[in-house]
């Protein structure tokens, strides 16, 4: 699978991504339950979820991001976090130094579940780690599969099944591990959505072969030109998986 140059796409990525998601209220509840004052976010990109968390739950956020381009864009926007360049597999923080760890749609970019969760357990004092991801079922039934034949296969090869994430939490010392599904409000698949697809607002589109992407996008625009919007609506589904660490 080709590599994605996140430094190169940071500007366009940020322009077409929203803030927060259907999981946002649960993230805040879990931070409150952890009495979190010092939060580590792994893979925050350009800081959209960081900003959403800070607006709902004022705290100190350490934002650990591997792409310098994403960090530059986040800093230019003024997202109020301590931005650090680095990997979730080698977190440059002291042990037991944060109260809460979160990552939103990042585990599939890392791949090594046990490695990143061991690092989360190391840097956490008593508190929780939570990661937001997509389920295999959501990927399989996503309406864009009809336009881009490799869409689902690309993401099923990248995203880890929720059950594997839960098992990795338990293997790396977390307990009270839970998973919860969240559904957003149904939204029309219209020209505005197609424009986001055209700008590859999620990384999956960067990995679709160029000819397939161009053909599928043309079909999508043609269907929208004929109908205004597709009959099917898009219901964004996320799954949050979390676990607790009690002692240092």
Q: Note the pLDDT of residue 19.
A: 66
Exposure class string for 112-145: b at 16+ Cβ within 10 A, else e? ebebbbbbbbbbbbebbbbbbbbbbebbeebbbb
pLDDT of residue 126: 93
Do 213 and 97 touch, CB atoms closer than 8 A?
A: no
The DSSP call for residue 47 is S
Q: Burial-class residue 29 by CB neighbours within 10 Å (0-12, 13-18, 19+).
A: exposed
Q: What is the distance between the alpha carbons of residues 14 and 65, in angstroms, rounded to a whole number? A: 14
Task: Tell me whether strands 229-234 and 187-190 are parallel, antiparallel or unpaired.
Answer: antiparallel
Give the Å distances, CA to CA, from 14 to 18, 38, 50, 199.
8, 25, 13, 10
Domain limits, the chain:
6-135+159-184+236-245
The pTM (predicted TM-score) of the whole model is: 0.92
Res 246: pLDDT: 81
Task: Kindly give the parts of the chain with pLDDT less than 70.
Answer: 1-3, 5-19, 247-248
Give the residue among 23, 22, 20 at the shortest CA–CA distance from 55: 20
The residue written with tokens 């800081």 in the block is: 47
Task: Please answer whether residues 186 and 237 qualify as being in contact, where contact means their C-beta atoms are separated by less than 8 angstroms.
Answer: no
Class of the domain covering 6-135+159-184+236-245: alpha beta
Task: Give the model's pLDDT for residue 145.
Answer: 97
pLDDT at 212: 98
Residue 31 to residue 65: CA distance in whole angstroms = 20
């Amino acid at each position: 699978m080709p590599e994605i140059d996140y430094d190169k796409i940071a500007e366009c990525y940020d322009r077409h991504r929203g803030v927060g998601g259907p999981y946002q209220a649960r993230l805040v509840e879990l931070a409150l339950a952890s009495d979190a004052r010092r939060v580590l976010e792994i893979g925050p990109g350009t800081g959209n979820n960081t900003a959403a968390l800070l607006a709902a739950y004022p705290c100190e956020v350490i934002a650990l991001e591997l792409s310098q381009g994403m960090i530059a864009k986040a800093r230019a926007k003024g997202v109020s976090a301590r931005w650090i360049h680095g990997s979730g597999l080698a977190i440059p923080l002291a042990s037991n130094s944060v109260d809460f760890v979160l990552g939103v749609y990042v585990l599939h970019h890392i791949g090594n579940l046990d490695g990143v969760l061991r690092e989360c357990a190391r840097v956490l004092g008593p508190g929780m780690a939570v990661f937001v991801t997509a389920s295999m079922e959501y990927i399989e039934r996503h309406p864009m599969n009809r336009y881009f034949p490799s869409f689902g296969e690309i993401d099923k090869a990248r995203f880890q099944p929720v059950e594997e994430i839960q098992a990795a939490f338990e293997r790396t010392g977390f307990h009270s591990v839970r998973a919860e599904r969240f559904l957003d409000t149904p939204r029309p698949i219209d020209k505005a959505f197609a424009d986001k697809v055209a700008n590859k607002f999620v990384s999956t589109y960067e990995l679709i072969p160029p000819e397939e992407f161009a053909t599928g996008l043309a079909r999508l625009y043609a269907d929208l030109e004929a109908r205004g919007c597709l009959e099917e609506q898009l219901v964004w589904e996320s799954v949050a998986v979390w676990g607790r660490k009690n002692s240092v």
